[in-house]
A and B are shown apart, each in its own frame.
Chain A
C-alpha cells in the first residue's frame, strides 16, 4: 500500500505529473474492478497545474466513491439509472480536496446507491478483494477500500450509512472513519439515507486517514445539518493511551461472531491495556434491535431520496414515452437493480398509511433507545471497542441470494449510524490470510480520542505494514 509521505517524497524527486501518471498506470488494468470511471485527462491536467502547490495534499492522487458529485466527471452511484450523468457541480468535500491540491484520479465502485455490504449489487460488477479475489471487498464502499489496499492510490473517500466505510476497511485491511454525523458536509453526496450517512476518509494508515479527514471536515453553509466550527485533528496523532478507559459491549460479541475475529479483537483490547489503558464491560441492551431499526429507517428514507430518478433531467430514459406515470414506473423498473427495488418497496410500505406508526415511527423510537445506550456506555468510558464485522471477508456470491443474511452482517456497524457517534475501523489481525478489523467508537464530536487510540494501537503493532500481494 502507499502512504502520503511516500507520494510526497516521490513528487519531490520527480513531479506530480509523473507520480499521477504512474498511479494511472497501476489503475489501468483495473484488476480488481475498483474503478468505474478513470479521469485520466483531468487528473494529469490537475497534476500539471498543481506543480508548486503548497496544500497539504498537493499532487496526491485520490479515488472518490461514485456517489459523490464530481463536476465534469461521470457519477453513477453504480446504477444503470444514472449511467452517463455528469454533474455540473462539485461536492463540498471535492472543493476542499481541490483546494488542498489533491488529484482526483477517478470514481470507484460501490454497491448500487450504497445499498449493500459487499459491492455485489453494482451495475458494473463486483469489486474483488485484493487479499483474495474470490472474496468480497465489503461494501458499500468496496471500490474505495480495495483501491487503497491494492496500492493503486494512497487515499479514497467512501460513505458510511450503516457501516459502508468501516466494513470494507475491515475486509480490506485498511483504515476508515465514519465521523460524527454533521462533521463532514453532505452537500454533493447522493443520498441513500440522509439522517444516517456521512462521507468517510479511507487510507492505509491512521495518520494519512487523519490528514485526509482534516482536509474535508468542517462547516459548510450549504448543508443545514453541518455542524459549525473547524478543528485541527492531526493534533490527535499522539502515541499515548495512558489512563484511557475502554468499554467493551458484550452485545457486539454475539452468536454470529467468528472465533478468530473475537480473539483478534480481544488481543487488540489487551494490547491497549499493556500500553496503559483499562477496559470494562458495558451493557448496551437495545443493540439487538438496531438492525431492524436501521433498515426500517434507511429504507424509508431511501424510498423518498430515490424518487427523483425519473429520467427527465438526467439518467435513463426509455425509447418510447407513454403517459407520465407509466413512463416513470417503467424507467425505474429497468434502471434500478433488485436490491434497490426491494428497499424502495419496503421503505414505501414502512411509510405508508396504516403502517407508518408500526414501522417508521417505532424504529425512530428504538433509535432513541440505542442512542441512549451509547450515551450511557460512554459516560463511564472514553471509547468503545468491538469487532467491525462478525467475520472476515466472505466469498463472492455466498450471501447475495438471501437479503436478510446479508443484512445480518451489519449487526455491529449500524448502531453507530443510528446514534451518530464517530467510529474508526482498522486492522487488528488476520484469519486465513484475510484481514480482521476492530472498530473504536467514541463520544459525539470526540474524533480526537478515537484517532489517538487508533494511532497508538497501530504504532505499537506491525499490522499496518502488511499488504496483499498484488501482481
Chain B
C-alpha cells in the first residue's frame, strides 16, 4: 500500500516533505456530550453553566457512552472508506493539564472504532489518495483562557468546562501529504464530506482543530499544535518547511518536538516545557465496557447521503456540465444544493457557468457565503441571460449590485436600464457610427480588420454598452 502511493509520486525521493494530519472533529450536531447528558449549546453562554459531575470529573462520577456519538463516528468512518472494528474499546490517556478535569482523557488507543480509509484530493501532480490510518472517539477537554491572551506571558489561567466532554472524532492520516497546499485541500475536502454527512456544524468555533506533523527528507518530525483554520494549517506548514530547511542548511538538526502555532504572527514556537517526554500510560478504561458495534455498519451505510465525489460525477452526467464546474459546485454542500435548485428551473449549463465562474468569485471577494444570494434571484438572472435580454457584463453588474445593495435581477435591470438595446436602436447607432467615421470604414475596406473594433466601440458608446457586441460586429461588417 505504501508502495502504491509511492508509485503515484515519483518525485518523493527528491522533495522529502512528509506531512501527516490529526484532525479533531467535534460532533457538535449531537444534542449532548459523549459521556453525559449536558447540552452542547454553550457558545456565548456564561462559563461553567453546561456541566455536571461527569464532565467536571467530580470524584465518584462515571461516564456512560452516547449511542448516537457512536453512530455518527461509524457514519464518518464509512464515508471515509474505513473498516469498522469488530471490537472497540476506550482507554485512558494519562497526562496533567488544567483543562483535563480527571487528570486523564478517555480516548481510544488499541481497537479504534474505524481504520484504514482514504480521501482523494487534487495533489501537486494530479489526483492523489491520502490514506487515513484511523478515526477514533474521545472527549474534548475544557477551554483555557490565558490572562493577557498569551500562554507564554499570562499570570494565571481561567478554565471553562462547558466544552469538557463534547464528543470528538480524531481522524489521523498517514504522512501521505506532500505540501502545505495539499494539506489545505485535504482539510477542505474533509470538511466538505463532514458537512454532507450532517454530523458537524463546521461554522462553529472549535469544530475542527488540526495538529500537523511534518518532517523533511525522513528526518525528525515536529508536531505543530494550536492550528484553528485551514489557512492557518497551510501557513504553519509553510513556515515549518522554511524553518527546517534553514536549520538543515546551517548544519543543525531538527529535533522531535511539539511546537505551538501563533496565528497572529504566522510562526511556530517551541514550547520548551519539560512535558516533552510524554508517557501517557494508556490502559483500558474500566468504567466503560467494550463495544461490539461492527454490525451497525450496514444499516448506517444505507443512511449515508450522496457524498461529494459521487455528487460531482452525477452533476457531470445529469446536468451535462464540465468536470471542473462540477468540482467547483460540489466543493461545498450548500453551493451544490443551490446549484440543483437553480438547475431545476433553468438551463443547467448556463447556471453552472454563472454560479461556478461568476457568483462564487463575487462572493469570495466579499467574504460572503452562498447564503448571501437567493437561488430565486439566480433563476431570474439566468432566464434574462438565456433570453438574450441582457449582456454578460450586465449580468455581472446585476450580481454585484444585489450583493452590495440588495434587490432582485428584474429590479436592478429596470433601475439601471440594463435591458439590451433593441434592434432599432442598435441599427440606428450602427448607421451613425458608420456615417461619423468614414476613415475607419475606409481602413476596414482596405484590409485593416481592427478598424471594426473602433466602430464597435463607437456603437457601444452610443448604446451605453447595452448592445450585444457580437451582434454589433456582425451588423457593421454586413453594412460595410
Contact = CB atoms under 8 A, between A and B. Distances in A.
- Do A and B share a direct contact in the complex (Cβ within 8 angstroms)? yes
Nearest to B277: A353
B94 interface: yes
A225 B287 contact: yes
B59 A191 contact: yes
Contacts of A303: 94
Nearest to B289: A224
B281 A186 contact: no
Chain A: number of interface residues, binned into ranges: 35 or more
B60 A224 contact: no
B271 to A, nearest CB: 12
Contact of A352 (B60, B97, B273, B281): B281
B96 interface: yes
B101 interface: yes
B103 A304 contact: yes
Contact of B103 (A77, A85, A301, A308): A308
B59 A325 contact: no
Given A88-B53, A195-B286, A221 B96 contact: no
Given A190-B59, A191-B59, A324-B98, A222 B279 contact: no
A313 B104 contact: no
Interface of B: 53, 56-65, 92, 94, 96-98, 101-104, 156-157, 159, 273-275, 279, 281, 283, 286-289
B62 A223 contact: yes
B283 A187 contact: no
A310 B288 CA distance: 24
A34 interface: no
Contacts of A194: 286-287
A89 B283 CA distance: 28
Contacts of A77: 59
A314 interface: yes
Given A222-B64, A224-B63, A224-B288, A308 B281 contact: no
A222 B64 CA distance: 6
A-B pairs with the 6 shortest C-beta distances?
A307-B103, A195-B286, A351-B281, A190-B59, A188-B60, A69-B60
A321 interface: yes
A206 interface: no
A68 interface: yes
Interface string A174-190: 00000000000011111
A456 interface: no
A330 to B, nearest CB: 13
A253 B383 CA distance: 96
Contacts of A324: 96-98, 157
Contacts of A310: 96, 98, 103
Given A300-B283, A304-B92, A348-B281, A187 B59 contact: no
A353 B277 CA distance: 11
Contacts of B157: 324
A223 B288 CA distance: 8
A69 B59 contact: yes
B152 to A, nearest CB: 11
Contacts of B289: 224-225
Contacts, number: 104
A272 B64 CA distance: 44
A88 B58 contact: yes
B102 A307 contact: yes
A194 B97 CA distance: 22
A428 interface: no
A462 to B, nearest CB: 40
B102 A187 contact: no
28 contacts: A69-B58, A75-B59, A87-B58, A87-B60, A89-B53, A188-B61, A189-B60, A190-B59, A190-B60, A194-B286, A195-B286, A222-B64, A223-B62, A224-B64, A224-B65, A304-B103, A306-B103, A308-B57, A308-B101, A308-B103, A310-B98, A313-B56, A313-B57, A313-B101, A314-B59, A328-B96, A351-B94, A353-B281
Contacts of A223: 62, 64, 287
A301 B97 contact: no
Interface string A345-370: 00010011100100010000000000
Q: Which of A304, A348, A360 has the most CB of B within 10 A?
A: A304
Contact of B102 (A190, A195, A225, A308): A308
Contacts of A471: none
A82 interface: yes
Interface string A307-340: 1111011100000010011001000000000000
A68 B60 contact: yes
Contact of A308 (B59, B62, B283): B59
Contacts of A308: 57, 59, 101-103
Nearest to B280: A353
Nearest to A226: B62
Contact of B58 (A195, A307, A313, A352): A313
